[in-house]
Structure 1
Amino acid sequence: MIDELKKELQQIIHQEKEKEIIPFLKKITFKEKKALVPFLKKYKEQIFETYTVEEKSKWGLSFSRKDKHSIEKRDLITKVCFVCYNKTDFKKAFWNSVNIITSDEYINDIIPWYVPNWYSNLINEENSWSLDYLKTMFLMSKGLLEPSNNLIVSKLPNAIIDSKTINGINVNSYTPEVLESYSVTLNEHIWLIFEEDSSINNNYINYRLNNYNKKNDVWIDTFIDLVEAKKLDRNKVLEASILTSTKNFNQNLTGWFFDLFIKLAPTNDEVLALQNELFSALNSPHSKVVNTVLRFFKKVGNLKKFQQLNFIENCSILLNSETKSVVNSTLILLDKIAKSNNKLVEDICLKTTEALLNVDDKIQLRASKIISKYGNIDSVELKDEVNLYQESLFYSSKKVLSVFIEGSEEDELAIEEELSTQILTESNRVEVYSTFDELLFFVSQVLDNNGVHHIDLFLSYAPRLNLLINSENVSKLEPIFKRALDLTFSFENRNSQIGELEFKAAYYLNDFSEILMEKYANELQNFKNYKTNKIQKLKKENFFRHYKGNLKEIEYQSINNRVYHIHQSLFIASKKLIQAKMALEFLSTPTHYPCWVAPEILIDRIKKYENSTIKINPYDIQIAIARLPLNEFDDSLLHKINEIRNKEIQETLKYFYNFLPLKEANVLRKDVWMQAVLCKKNSDDINYFKETFEYKLEKETTDYKWDCKLQDHIYNVYDYEKRKNVYKTIQKKEIRFFTTKEKIKETFIQQIKSYLNPKKENSIVSMYSYIRFNKRQYETVITPKDDVKFLNLAPNNPEVFLQQVVKYVLSESTFTSETNKKNMVNILKGLFDIWCRKDYQESVYLFLAASFLCSDKVSRELAAEIWIKAVSENNFKTELFGRVLGKLQYNEYGSFKRFTDLLTLNLLNISKNHNRNLLVLLNAMIANMNEKPLRNTKKLVDILFELKQAFKDFELSDKTKDKLTLWSKTKSLSLVIKKII
């Protein structure tokens, strides 16, 4: 019987007998439907099968998928599946399942005689875009659907817009009458909008309604009209609007409901009646909500029915808000209450002292005036409270509150003790793995990028693991090899923590697996079969050609960006150790987090290489020297260095640790010496190296000039008035690097001689030649998953890498992508970990200064943390940093408000030492700024004044005084500048 049904069904579908499908479905029993399901699943796949079409064009080959069977056959089999499948099977088989079952065809032809028991559940679960509110209500009225609250709320906002296509033009009409089609809409459904998250606040931004001319939001006007027509209760709408602040809606949606509240214009009596609800709204995280409540409270604050004491007792959260307008409004309301109720004056003054902690001088001054105006001078409690905040008070506030401040002399911030910068501590030591299980566990997680130092450790641990492998434990590596192979055939780095270096590690593991499969063929047969099947599947799906190159040996892998050349070389060197069955540690393997190498351990590693036949990789030793802490050693280290047989390396380390002057050394391997010279940053030694060995060190020392000016950019944009593409010049403020060297003019004969006999510069294998990034149009310049690993290649000399970051990420202060933000956050965190000296070159301070002014708040705050740490450790060139900031802001590289906000919120009043450094910074910065003050310069000058009051012995430079004199011609600055100079 079932076979006959299958044949009949196949005949109906293949001959596309549309009229016969409904009678066929009506006659089959429940048992027959269930029996047909296994056949239908395979048959449905056949009918929906596609094939690949390969097309040639002038751009190359293109591939597309086309259906093997007609749309009529697919429609017929879909109807059969609807009648026979359960919910899970139908949902899995059709991605647009709800669109299908709520279509007019199904509602008219099938639903009248067959409604599956899962019909309503599926519609609620999927919440299809094709289902509108009226159809939802129709299905509900027929008893076919019990709509969930979520479904109703998602459909109702669109109900008042009717969209039609007339003569090919989309026409939208305003149809509020729809809300009265069903009584349940205004009685129940519309109130769900106040309870559930919805799109009511942004659905109609892009609609042009042909019968609606009002300028307000269409739904706000709809609510107002319904309230005025008494179709909705006014008090209920007001109360519901306020209570949305407690529903955990996002900022925009909550703000929309409070716009509705404002448009309804509640009277003073209504505000007083809704006090409890409004007080609960003050706990909202959204400033618009809080400001709106305070706006209405200020209107009724002096009335008897207003709960004044309740407000005073609960306004601490308002006074400590980061939003200035909230704090100001709270202080204004407290002042208003104090005027109207003498009994609460003492409570108000004590509460107002909390605002004295605010970093905004105007807010402090407003709070100080309230305390001075209403406060009792003889109140011991009030004096104690004021004195608690004395250290954070600005000069103007101290002056107003002088009668409340104890002592004639101002207390100063405590002098902070200089912090230790010791790197090689026991708590900072990298854990060492040696057993098979430990190494296996480590290698299994290296592809997940859980630590920035994992790739460094992996280079040494893989050869060590290789020596511990035998026929009994080799199969334990299969999951690792499968993971590496899967990564080789994926684009996982697009949406995970995996970077390009983890892909390199996967290619390396592929080579490792091939080496082991030659030795342990039987034990790794399962993995071999897995790999073969994986490749065959990709070939069948025409995808293998995209990944074929990834299976090449690591030596022949392409390098997408030149910076990866260094790690490529190290991976190859590590593979050679596996092939040689040796387990020498790489010299650069970190011993202390995040990337440092202890000198004693480095010497032990060098001695092991001397006792082997393996040559030291040139990049490995350069990285190792760049990772040596410069000042953490004692005289006993000299004895240890003398144990090295290689005189070149021995003398290099002696020079590095001040046991040997450079001029007395016998320099042969310039690549090793170059790194040591760069790390010590002694200008005499650098010049001696350049002159003696005729190597310019331009790339290694970032010996380039920079400026920040308006640059012209030409774009091809569409002009809507001219209706064509036009070239448009746009000016942008950019950081630009350039060389100041003048080109020597040559005669034509000299040019020919130079071409035929070019002057050869001494060649050095320098890792810095590869710390460069290739800018590509559609690719990220610096991968956020790898950026810190590049920074950690040379923690003693990060200038080269950070200059590249400035060039490609910080050339403009406003970031153009989220990737750039991730880069900045990662790199600043990495720089915080490695910052241990003040003699970094200008490019490092340029990077940090640009970070102070960039558009990302998190990056600015991280940069501030670096400044705080470095100043605490006396590892910062404050004057140089100030000059760089001034040069950047000469043409306002970034918003000046960003800098002044960072000063007040993150940098001011950390300690006396930090404040003095800030004064040095501002002194150098102002000297290099514009003669005409920028916008928000007033705040900078105010801070300078406050710092100058704290350090009256500090003498401003003549350049700064001259600049301030010029600025004083601006009316808003003249008064405070006269007090400074």
Structure 2
Amino acid sequence: MMDRMEKEPLIQEGRRLPDVADVDGLVSFMGRLTEEQESFYLDLLLASLVRLHPFIKSDDVKRMMSVFEWAGTVMEMPESETGGLDKLTASFLLDYAEMLSGAEKRAKGAKQQLYQDYKPYLDLVKLAFNRIKDYNTLPLLSTPTHRPAWIDPSVLVSRLSEYQKKGIKPDSLDFQIALSRVALDDTDEAVRSVEQALAGEYRELLLFLFKPEARPKGSFTFQAVWMTAALVKSPDTIYDEFEDFPYSAVNRAYLTGDIPCDVFIFEKPFGKVDRILQLIPPASKNVAIKWRFGGYALYMTYRPCSRIPLLVETFWKIPLREKDLKRFLLLSPNAPRIWLALLVRDRVRDAYWNDLELARLNLVALETLRELDLEWRGGMALTYLAVCLLSIDRPVRLCAADLWGELVEKDLIDNVALGRVLGKIQSLEWAPAQRISGLVVEMLINRSSFHNKELSVLFVSFLSCLPESPVKDLKRLLEVFAELQTVNNWPKITYAPLLSLLETWKKNSKLTEIIESLY
């Protein structure tokens, strides 16, 4: 019997990000930008320059010249070789170099338009640049403190108290990103800090987020920030206190990413069909939805419902690119489901289409989500994991299988619910049945006795969602189930829906023998 793996604390010393303590450290850190790009580098660069710019001397600028030259090179690189956020970083560095020289000549308007779809980071860059110009050393709230992008809740309290002492309102998007990144697994110490250091709305807002039982208490000056706190704390809970917020008029699925999916079947010549997995976006007054080619293609345009957008609303316009995806996922590590909805909407469609770019995006997403150690809850999270388990790309299937193994060990996934999702997809034969059987036999079975039992739970749920009319290769699926029964010492099948289906399927002479062996 395998012991359950304990979930590690999100905030621990081994995950602490490097401290850029002085100008020498800043110059050294900037040099690392030219050699490698970790997901937190842009955040750390902005925060460090805001804090240390007043202390930079002419000799320090000379030491930075190689970094500015590197930034110019990045701006000339083709899109295929660099990410949009790398270019935004380079553009910021060139702007900063011009500011240091006293000659701001670059066309800011055109540059900002170029990165408009990268709004969260573009706004952070603009905020940092203005702080630097004004010699305003107030910290950015959203800078992560621990890998991969978590913020120590006590540090967030400390940062916010600086704003309160100076009577300065935080930037809305910076504040929202901070709440989306703050670690919530252990907030007892942070609650005590809030009660000692903060007052008024800041105090009530953080107590609401940090205390599981707390309800929101007005006044609600920062409506977007309160709404983000609610989505982070409990995405499926609707708080009556926010009913007058403009964001409450939006269909909630667009704020959580938990949008239902279905498989569309399109007939082709010579009796062939395409089976396309697609979102079923619900009606919402701020979302324009167009179906084209008989529903084969979905076009969605999301319009923020307020002049001050929610962080999650900005995600709907961001392009999915391999080199940027991890950093965007880490803008909201507490609530990443919208990114999974975007992947399903824009890239996951045909189970037979070997899209290498999609495979790379999926690998980035799976590895990033694995780092976050989150509970996989909600239909979209389970749908995304299911389609990755069924991917045509073997490395994606293996990565998803390894993630499933860890989620089982840490009790972070509901295998009954995952089985239902897989069963619904398979009932419409979106992917070939041998992909499921191969996945179980090659990648999931015999990880441990505990995994085998959970896999059996998943498979019972999966089979129970198949139709009465046998799907293609059902016999092979039942053979795999028999293997699972064997490794689990033949537990009695007690789930009534599956027993009923087995009796129905047994009428098919090709299935009689294998089904009788299961009892």
* TM-score where L is the length of structure 1: 0.48
Separation of aligned partners in 2, 1:417 and 1:677? 30
- Counterpart position of 1:631: 185
Aligned pairs for 1:384-395 within 5 A? none
- Counterpart position of 2:430: 893
Separation of aligned partners in 2, 1:598 and 1:423? 9
Separation of aligned partners in 1, 2:323 and 2:283? 37
SS at match of 1:736: strand
Write out per-residue CA displacement over residues 743-797 of structure 1, whole angstroms, 9 at most, x where no aligned residue: 9xxxxxxxxxxxxxxxx977652011111247xxxxxx51110011111111111
1:427 aligns with 2:11: no
The amino acid of 2:511's aligned partner reads L
- Contact conserved, 1:651 with 1:660, CA < 8 A, in 2? no
Separation of aligned partners in 1, 2:400 and 2:238? 29
1:732 aligns with 2:274: yes
Separation of aligned partners in 2, 1:610 and 1:847? 41
Deviates more, 1:421-430 or 1:958-967: 958-967
Structure 2, unaligned runs of 5 or more: 286-303
Which of 52, 66, 77 is the equivalent residue of 1:479?
66
Which of 258, 261, 273 is the equivalent residue of 1:706?
261
- Contact conserved, 2:261 with 2:278, CA < 8 A, in 1? yes
Separation of aligned partners in 2, 1:678 and 1:554? 33
Write out per-residue CA displacement over residues 450-490 of structure 1, whole angstroms, 9 at most, x where no aligned residue: 21111221221222342231123221111111111222233
- Contact conserved, 1:586 with 1:620, CA < 8 A, in 2? yes
Give 1:594 shift.
Answer: 0.5
Give 1:830 shift.
Answer: 0.7
Separation of aligned partners in 2, 1:619 and 1:448? 30
- Contact conserved, 2:405 with 2:444, CA < 8 A, in 1? yes
The amino acid of 2:20's aligned partner reads Y
Write out per-residue CA displacement over residues 944-973 of structure 1, whole angstroms, 9 at most, x where no aligned residue: 223335265564422222222233233343
Note closer, same or farther for the CA distance 1:424–1:466 as it changes in structure 2 (3 Å cut). Answer: same
Give 1:448 shift.
Answer: 5.3
Separation of aligned partners in 1, 2:271 and 2:54? 63
Write out per-residue CA displacement over residues 145-188 of structure 1, whole angstroms, 9 at most, x where no aligned residue: xxxxxxxxxxxxxxxxxxxxxxxxxxxxxxxxxxxxxxxxxxxx
1:768 aligns with 2:307: no
- Counterpart position of 2:365: 827
- Counterpart position of 1:494: 80
- Counterpart position of 2:238: 686
Note closer, same or farther for the CA distance 1:687–1:486 as it changes in structure 2 (3 Å cut). Answer: same
Which of 797, 805, 822 is the equivalent residue of 2:343?
805
The amino acid of 1:805's aligned partner reads L
Note closer, same or farther for the CA distance 1:940–1:770 as it changes in structure 2 (3 Å cut). Answer: same
The amino acid of 1:937's aligned partner reads L
Separation of aligned partners in 1, 2:275 and 2:91? 42
Write out per-residue CA displacement over residues 664-708 of structure 1, whole angstroms, 9 at most, x where no aligned residue: 55434221121221122264x325366454433331123533211
Aligned pairs for 1:298-313 within 5 A? none
SS at match of 1:709: strand
Deviates more, 1:951-960 or 1:844-853: 951-960
Separation of aligned partners in 2, 1:841 and 1:444? 42
- Which has the bigger relative contact order, CA under 8 A and spacing at least 6? 2
- Counterpart position of 1:504: 88
Corresponding residue pairs, total: 497
Which of 430, 436, 447 is the equivalent residue of 1:910?
447
The amino acid of 2:320's aligned partner reads I
Give 1:738 shift.
Answer: 2.0
SS at match of 1:772: helix
Aligned pairs for 1:749-768 within 5 A? 765-768=309-312
SS at match of 1:604: helix
1:578 aligns with 2:110: no
Note closer, same or farther for the CA distance 1:674–1:973 as it changes in structure 2 (3 Å cut). Answer: same
The amino acid of 1:557's aligned partner reads Q
- Contact conserved, 2:423 with 2:466, CA < 8 A, in 1? yes
- Counterpart position of 1:976: 514
Separation of aligned partners in 1, 2:279 and 2:452? 32
The amino acid of 1:814's aligned partner reads Y
State the identity %.
24
Aligned pairs for 1:29-428 within 5 A? 414-428=1-15
SS at match of 2:398: helix
Separation of aligned partners in 2, 1:637 and 1:742? 37
Which of 153, 159, 177 is the equivalent residue of 1:599?
153
SS at match of 1:980: coil
Separation of aligned partners in 2, 1:689 and 1:956? 45
- Counterpart position of 2:501: 963
Note closer, same or farther for the CA distance 1:643–1:663 as it changes in structure 2 (3 Å cut). Answer: closer
Separation of aligned partners in 1, 2:317 and 2:217? 37
Give 1:849 shift.
Answer: 0.4
SS at match of 1:832: helix
Structure 1, unaligned runs of 5 or more: 1-413, 522-527, 532-550, 714-726, 744-759, 775-780
- Counterpart position of 2:301: none
Note closer, same or farther for the CA distance 1:906–1:659 as it changes in structure 2 (3 Å cut). Answer: closer
The amino acid of 1:477's aligned partner reads M
Note closer, same or farther for the CA distance 1:630–1:965 as it changes in structure 2 (3 Å cut). Answer: farther
- Counterpart position of 1:514: 98
Separation of aligned partners in 2, 1:556 and 1:944? 57
Note closer, same or farther for the CA distance 1:842–1:969 as it changes in structure 2 (3 Å cut). Answer: same
Separation of aligned partners in 1, 2:116 and 2:438? 38
Separation of aligned partners in 1, 2:77 and 2:479? 56
Q: RMSD across aligned C-alpha pairs, in angstroms?
A: 2.8
Give 1:567 shift.
Answer: 0.7
Separation of aligned partners in 2, 1:742 and 1:770? 16
Give 1:446 shift.
Answer: 2.7
* TM-score where L is the length of structure 2: 0.88
Note closer, same or farther for the CA distance 1:908–1:762 as it changes in structure 2 (3 Å cut). Answer: same
